[in-house]
Structure 1
Amino acid sequence: MASPTTHFILVHIFTILVATSHAWKPKFSSILVFGDSTVDPGNNNFIETLFKGNHFPYGRDFPGHVPTGRFSNGKLVTDFIASLLDIKDTVPPYLDPNLSDHELLTGVSFASGGSGLDDLTTVASGVIPVSKQIEHFREYVEKIKCIVGKEEAQKILGRALVIISAGTNDFSFNFYDIPTRKYEFDIDGYQDFLQNRLQIFIKELYDLGCRKIAVAGLPPIGCIPLQITAKFKNPKDRKCIEQENLDSELYNKKLERLLLHVQATLPGCRVVYTDIYNPLANLVNQPEKFGFEVTKRGCCGSGIVEAGPLCNELTPTCEESSKFVFWDSVHPTEAAYKYIAKYMEAEVLPKFVNSNSSEIYL
């Protein structure tokens, strides 16, 4: 039988271990999301555009089996992150006219499927560019000021987790598939153009009170099934497009350096680079290691062209979506998003905790 002293030491050690295991977890007041279809929970439902995910089979595995406007079979990365942080189970679209005060105060998404940092990206689709999303955010700020007052609203904004995920559509629509911007920029110049737009956007968020910002890099664009389809006509030749992936890697390296510079110019702000490339590349290159089987096509239809309106109630889907990295020809499955969220939990969220002490940024 352990002595009282030994018992006290064991209890003390256990207490320290428990505290340490949770010490990384920062406290956020809410979650605010900007970007494209990877983080749009349904804003496109409320605008005039054909690019919507508010019909079956989208939402097949979402709670209640309802299509919400999310371009996936279930939840998005941001939904999982909000749940992991005990903020809310899912992140609603800002444009939903029926949002409660509680929903507004705990966070919303301003993202729009098909969006980009370049305004040219959204001209044909009519979706909401990132530059317009900041206007909606200004409206949002005024709304929460009316709910809780100016001082409390500023506290909420300062403690909110902001997630930005945009850029993929800019390259897909404007540079690779429809090379409009190639007449103005080489790949290096277009990357710089987009990151300049992003830097301006982050400054605008900062000026409105945001202080904790996670910015996603590009995924391996060359592994998106639709990009593979555009490159390889023969199904037997399907493989990731190496040059597009190299372009994504170069963009991400530049972005990491840029965000360090941006953080240094914004006092009291934490701006964190969020690696999306490697976790998604892991699933594509070593699917069996993570419980996946199919990587070169989506679950919906043939999986090589169907997305948005082409993935619909008349389109057959695979039986086990959890075995597929992609749900349609563009967007990952809920299973892939869940893996990316767990990766962010381990590698990104801890960076919002003060590295010099156990103090949490509030």
Structure 2
Amino acid sequence: MNPNHKKPILLTFFIILLLLQLPNSINASLFPPVTALYAFGDSTVDSSNNNYIPTIFRSNHPPYGKSFPAKLPTGRFSDGKLATDFLASSLGLKPTLPAYLNPSVKTRDLLTGVSFASAGGGLDDRTAMLSSTLTMDRQWRFFEEAVRKMKSVVGDSETNRVIKNALFVISAGTNDMTYNVYDHVPRSFISVSDYQDYLLSKIQVFAQRLYHAGARRITVAGLPPIGCLPGQVTLGSFITPRNLGHRICTEHQNTDSRLYNQKLQKLTNRLSQKLRGSKVLYLDIYSPLIDMIKHPLKYGLEETSRGCCGTGLLEAGPLCEPLSRTCEDVSKYLFFDSVHPSQKAYSVIARSALQNLFPHL
């Protein structure tokens, strides 16, 4: 065989190899690694900001934190880590995501992310006012303060680079629905759908604020199956006589959550198109939670309708207190208290986000 005949074959082989490598190099340049993680919202992403403001909505006491390193009750509303903690460690940023108001957080810590969230808060200012916690506007002002601090240390250019390549998480809405629609305050709006639209308008404004501040990767968490939260199951059993004595989800609340999430998906799609060069993505927490409820054995769970703390029916925050009895093995529980998921559940939510959301970033 003529040796020259091999040359085209070898040349073709190397060209194919080069072409195979090009997408990776292009992706690496267009989508650099996540530089930081910043969280806004409620207790699902509050890693202890409420410890430093005058409110009773705190979890800086046992039995909270029983699964955290050294069994430390940090102020997270769970037995251990939150989904944002798992995300921060999976992205190689830091082991856990600290709270902005924590005095031990230094300016350089801000460069890899913090949480500005406040347990008991929501998208609606009235929600935060009911619980004397941080409104979204107050959280925004703390973010602006953090940006000024970062610029004072590393300069404008580096701070802008960090923000541009950071991941921003907005997680709120559940308290708005439970406080203002289902449990406490008489409705002052025309319909549930109208109130949902009002909440979504708040998300749109906040996402646009982030974009104009330089953010380009924004994720917005949808609502969980609210009717399956242990506290809502308990209240539903009293409101609906046929449910008395039965631990079943309040289905109309779950229907409301699904409708809200559908609207949120459409909103995030519109924002991604409108905000040039950005990715605004819907973070689905409903699906992993409802799957754990319907198929608990798949996740090693045994109890999905009660919290681990106390009776598991109503205790949360100040009611889940140091003398409260807790379950023997919290890893078998979907919820730690009557509202908040366990560390096990948060790890599943984080894994779902990493698998389904991050490829789009």
Q: TM-score, normalised by structure 2?
A: 0.90
1:227-251 deviation line (CA, Å, top 9, x unaligned): 1111113763220011000000000
Q: Indicate the SS of the match to 2:235.
A: helix
Aligned length: 336
Amino acid at match of 1:218: L
Tell me if 1:332 matches 2:341: yes
Decide which of 245, 270, 278 is 1:236's aligned counterpart.
Answer: 245
Partner of residue 162, structure 1: 168
1:155-188 deviation line (CA, Å, top 9, x unaligned): 10000010110000000001000143x2323011
Q: Indicate the SS of the match to 2:115.
A: coil
Q: Indicate the SS of the match to 2:47.
A: coil
Between the aligned partners of 1:334 and 1:327, the Cα distance in structure 2 is 8
How much does 1:111 deviate?
0.4
Alignment of 1:175-194 (within 5 A): 175-180=181-186, 182-194=187-199
Partner of residue 110, structure 2: 104
Amino acid at match of 2:150: I
Between the aligned partners of 1:279 and 1:290, the Cα distance in structure 2 is 11
Between the aligned partners of 2:61 and 2:103, the Cα distance in structure 1 is 19
Q: Indicate the SS of the match to 2:305.
A: strand
Decide which of 225, 229, 233 is 2:230's aligned counterpart.
Answer: 225
Partner of residue 8, structure 2: none
Amino acid at match of 1:220: P
Amino acid at match of 1:225: P
Tell me if 1:301 matches 2:310: yes
Tell me if 1:271 matches 2:280: yes
Give 5+ residue unaligned stretches, structure 2. 1-12
Decide which of 38, 43, 48 is 1:32's aligned counterpart.
Answer: 38
Alignment of 1:43-122 (within 5 A): 43-122=49-128
Tell me if 1:280 matches 2:289: yes
How much does 1:209 deviate?
1.1
Partner of residue 10, structure 2: none
Q: Indicate the SS of the match to 1:295.
A: strand
Give 5+ residue unaligned stretches, structure 1. 1-8, 353-362
Counterparts in 2 of 1:332 and 1:288: CA distance versus 1, 3 Å: same
State whether residues 108 and 150 of structure 2, in contact with CA within 8 Å, keep that contact through their aligned partners in structure 1: no
1:17-66 deviation line (CA, Å, top 9, x unaligned): 9x98xx89961011000110011000000000001010001011101210
Q: TM-score, normalised by structure 1?
A: 0.89
How much does 1:97 deviate?
2.1
Between the aligned partners of 2:66 and 2:108, the Cα distance in structure 1 is 27
Between the aligned partners of 1:326 and 1:26, the Cα distance in structure 2 is 36
Partner of residue 257, structure 1: 266
Greater relative contact order structure (CA < 8 Å, 6+ sep): 1
Partner of residue 197, structure 1: 202
Between the aligned partners of 1:31 and 1:152, the Cα distance in structure 2 is 16
Q: Which has the higher helix share?
A: 2
State whether residues 167 and 218 of structure 1, in contact with CA within 8 Å, keep that contact through their aligned partners in structure 2: yes
Alignment of 1:1-40 (within 5 A): 27-40=33-46
Q: Indicate the SS of the match to 1:331.
A: coil
Between the aligned partners of 2:205 and 2:334, the Cα distance in structure 1 is 33
1:269-327 deviation line (CA, Å, top 9, x unaligned): 11011101000000111111111010110000000110001111100100100000000
Amino acid at match of 1:105: L
Between the aligned partners of 1:200 and 1:208, the Cα distance in structure 2 is 12
Tell me if 1:291 matches 2:300: yes
Between the aligned partners of 1:235 and 1:301, the Cα distance in structure 2 is 20
Q: Give the number of the structure whose alpha-carbon radius of gyration is greater.
A: 2
State whether residues 307 and 328 of structure 1, in contact with CA within 8 Å, keep that contact through their aligned partners in structure 2: yes
Counterparts in 2 of 1:140 and 1:185: CA distance versus 1, 3 Å: farther
Tell me if 1:247 matches 2:256: yes
State whether residues 298 and 327 of structure 1, in contact with CA within 8 Å, keep that contact through their aligned partners in structure 2: yes
Between the aligned partners of 1:33 and 1:184, the Cα distance in structure 2 is 29
Amino acid at match of 2:114: V
Between the aligned partners of 1:238 and 1:291, the Cα distance in structure 2 is 20
Using the aligned pairs only, state the percent identity: 47
Amino acid at match of 2:233: I
State whether residues 32 and 165 of structure 2, in contact with CA within 8 Å, keep that contact through their aligned partners in structure 1: no
Decide which of 211, 221, 242 is 1:216's aligned counterpart.
Answer: 221
Q: Indicate the SS of the match to 2:70.
A: coil
Amino acid at match of 2:123: L
State whether residues 55 and 69 of structure 1, in contact with CA within 8 Å, keep that contact through their aligned partners in structure 2: yes
Decide which of 324, 327, 333 is 1:315's aligned counterpart.
Answer: 324
**C-alpha RMSD over aligned residues:** 1.9
